A = this chain, B = another copy of it.
Amino acid sequence: MKKNGGREIERKFLVRKMPDGLTSYASSKISQGYLVSLEDGTQVRLRKSGETYLLTFKRGAGNVREEREVELSVEKFDALWPATEGKRLVKTRYKIPLGERAVEIDVYHDRHEGLVVAEVEFDDEKAASDFQPPDWLGDDVTGDPRYSNQLLAS
């Protein structure tokens, strides 16, 4: 995730049809769990992505959110991880190019098998609102709580 002064500007879409050759792109298995996850969008998240361990604080809702992230050692991650029990999810994330941007496609596993969601990140709000999604993307579900990882993890 790129940072814009601690802000995150992105849009989220359902995926109507999987893009061709999806599995030929780079992917990583992501396990994440929440220390805190509130309805107003505040969250403290632990994420293991490949061999990278992250702690992320997010606040706010919609397509602009405050986001602060630090990397943890595996030992520190393991010390905090037990507190996320019951608030976890697993997904495979594919990163595919779309013109000058990248789209992240999240394929969920376990009890959310079958759910696929795409995220596109932007440098500013104008770029976000001007974005014309390709036809393989479906409904814009930015800010829709049904597709928030927070809710999917609970």
| A interface list, Cβ under 8 A from B | 6, 35-36, 38, 42, 44, 55, 57, 59, 66, 68-72, 76, 79-80, 82-83
Question: When the two chains form their complex, are residues B66 and A70 in contact, meaning their CB atoms are under 8 A apart?
Answer: no
Q: Which of B35, B57, B80 contacts A83 (CB 8 A)?
A: B57
| Listed A/B pairs (16) with beta-carbon separation below 8 Å | A35-B44, A35-B57, A36-B36, A36-B38, A36-B42, A36-B44, A38-B38, A44-B57, A55-B55, A57-B83, A59-B83, A66-B83, A68-B82, A69-B79, A70-B72, A70-B76
* Interfacial chain B residues near A44, Cβ < 8 Å: 35-36, 44, 57
* Interfacial chain B residues near A79, Cβ < 8 Å: 68-70
> Looking across the interface, which residue of chain B has its beta carbon closest to that of A72?
B70
> Looking across the interface, which residue of chain B has its beta carbon closest to that of A3?
B79
Copies of this chain present: 2
Question: When the two chains form their complex, are residues B80 and A70 in contact, meaning their CB atoms are under 8 A apart?
Answer: yes
**Minimal beta-carbon separation of A105 from chain B (angstroms):** 28
> Looking across the interface, which residue of chain B has its beta carbon closest to that of A75?
B70
* Interfacial chain B residues near A36, Cβ < 8 Å: 35-36, 38, 42, 44
Taking A36-B44, A44-B36 as contacts, is the C-beta distance between A57 and B70 under 8 angstroms? no
> Looking across the interface, which residue of chain B has its beta carbon closest to that of A56?
B80
* Interfacial chain B residues near A57, Cβ < 8 Å: 35, 44, 80, 83
> Looking across the interface, which residue of chain B has its beta carbon closest to that of A69?
B79
